[in-house]
Amino acid sequence: MSDTTSILDPKTLRIAALVVAVTGLPFVYFRDTWMIAAAVTLSGGLILLAGAEAEDDPRQRRFAYVCFALAVAFMLIDAIGTLVAPA
């Protein structure tokens, strides 16, 4: 019997989510890309939440909520920047 790792394996999901969430962070340093950072971080949080629900892991679920909070913060920063930007 071969030992293969499923793509839906919780450990694989956790690694994929970390890669996706970390990929969004560099967009914070560029101007006008807060929504891209929010979208990438939000998708990482969704992958983490799926893995947490499959594995019933409260620690991973908390990390997913941190990703969601970061995504909301990035969206708020983008909205505030749009409101106060000179016309």
Residues 3-43 pLDDT 10s: 555 556 667 767 777 777 677 666 666 666 777 777 777 87
Q: Which domain holds residue 59?
A: 10-80
The whole-number average pLDDT for the span 69-84 is 82
Q: Report if residue 3 sits inside a domain.
A: no
Q: Report if residue 27 sits inside a domain.
A: yes
Q: Report if residue 35 sits inside a domain.
A: yes
What are the angstrom distances between the C-alpha of 24 and each of 31, 54, 55?
Answer: 14, 24, 25
**What is the number of structural domains in the chain?**
1
Tokens representing 60 are: 């991973």
Q: Residue 24 has what pLDDT?
A: 65
pTM of the entire structure?
0.61
Q: Report if residue 5 sits inside a domain.
A: no
The whole-number average pLDDT for the span 43-56 is 76
Q: Report if residue 85 sits inside a domain.
A: no
pLDDT value at 1 more than 50: no
Q: Report if residue 86 sits inside a domain.
A: no
- State how far the Cα of 27 lies from the Cα of 54, in Å rounded to an integer: 30
Q: Report if residue 50 sits inside a domain.
A: yes
Q: Report if residue 2 sits inside a domain.
A: no
